[in-house]
Amino acid sequence: MIELANTREQVYEIARKLDSTRKFVESVGVEMEGGLCREKFDKIIEKYGSTRRLGIGSDASVRVYESDTVCEKWWVFDAEIKYWSRSVVDVIEFADYVFSLGFKQNSTCGNHHHFKFILHPLTTTVLMSPEAIKMYKRMYLKVFGNNAKYVDRLKNRYCYMQESVYDIILNFTYERYYAFNVQSYFEAQNTLEIRLMPYAEDFIEYANQVLFNIQALETIINKLMKNNEFTLKVP
C-alpha cells in the first residue's frame, strides 16, 4: 500500500521507513525546477556543495515569476537544482531545505526523479516493459486520479505516459519526453528517469511525489521478481 504524508513529521517517518525496508531502489536523484532568490543559491552550495552530488543550472522551459518576494540580489525564474543520494531521508532533507529558502514552482515546472537499482541494468530493462509501466499507471491513477493537475500530466508533451510498445521503442531510440525515460540510462547519470510529476505547491506535496515513486517502483519490482528472477507476461 502506498503511504503519503499530511504533515512534515509524517514525511520523515515514511522516508525513514523506506530507508530501512526498500530492497531494490539503490539511489534517488531529484531535479527541482522553479524560482528562487539568487543569494539563496549560495546557501545551498555552502550546505551541500561539498557532497559533490549537487548541481545548479537553469531550464529554458521554466518561467516562475515572483512579484511578492524581496531578494537581496535578484529573483532567478528558471532554476534547475539537482541532487542525489543513497538515502531517502537525505533527499527529503535537501528538498525541505530548498523549499525553506523560498523556492517556488508553477505550471511551467515538472518534477523529474532519477533512480538506480540493485541489478540496475536488468531492473531498468524490466521497468521499461509494457507490463511494468501499466502497473505504475494504475497506482498513479489510484492515488492521484482525482486531481486534474496530475491526470493532465499523462498527456503532457514533456512526459507523455507510454501507451504502447511503439512508445517504448521511440524512447529507447531517441525520444526522451516520456513518463519513463530510459534515455537517461545511456547518459552520464546512468539512471531511469520518471518525468511524470507536476509542479508542487509546497514541500509536503513535493515530498509525497518522491515517496510515491519510490514505493511504486519497489512494489512493481517486488511483484515481478521472484528468487532474483523476473517474470513478464508477453502477449
Helix axes 38-48, 88-100, angle to 10 degrees: 150
Residues 185-220: pLDDT tens digits? Answer: 999 999 999 999 999 999 999 999 999 999 999 999
pLDDT at 132: 95
Q: What is the 8-class DSSP label of residue 178?
A: B
Torsion of the alpha carbons at 143, 106, 32 and 120, rounded to the nearest 10:
40
pLDDT at 68: 85
Q: Which residues pair with 27 in a beta bridge?
A: 116
Average pLDDT over residues 38-57: 97
The length of the chain is 235
Q: CB under 8 Å, gap of 24 or more: what pairs does 94-97 form?
A: 94/30, 94/48, 95/30, 95/32, 95/203, 95/206, 95/207, 95/210, 96/8, 96/11, 96/203, 96/207, 97/44, 97/47
Q: Which residues pair with 112 in a beta bridge?
A: 31
Residues 119-158: pLDDT tens digits? Answer: 899 999 999 999 999 999 999 999 999 999 999 999 999 9
Percent of the chain with pLDDT over 90: 89
Instruction: Please say whether the beta carbons of 150 and 198 come within 8 A.
Output: yes
Percent of the chain with pLDDT over 70: 97
C-alpha–C-alpha distance, residues 48 and 42, integer Å: 10
Average pLDDT over residues 106-120: 96
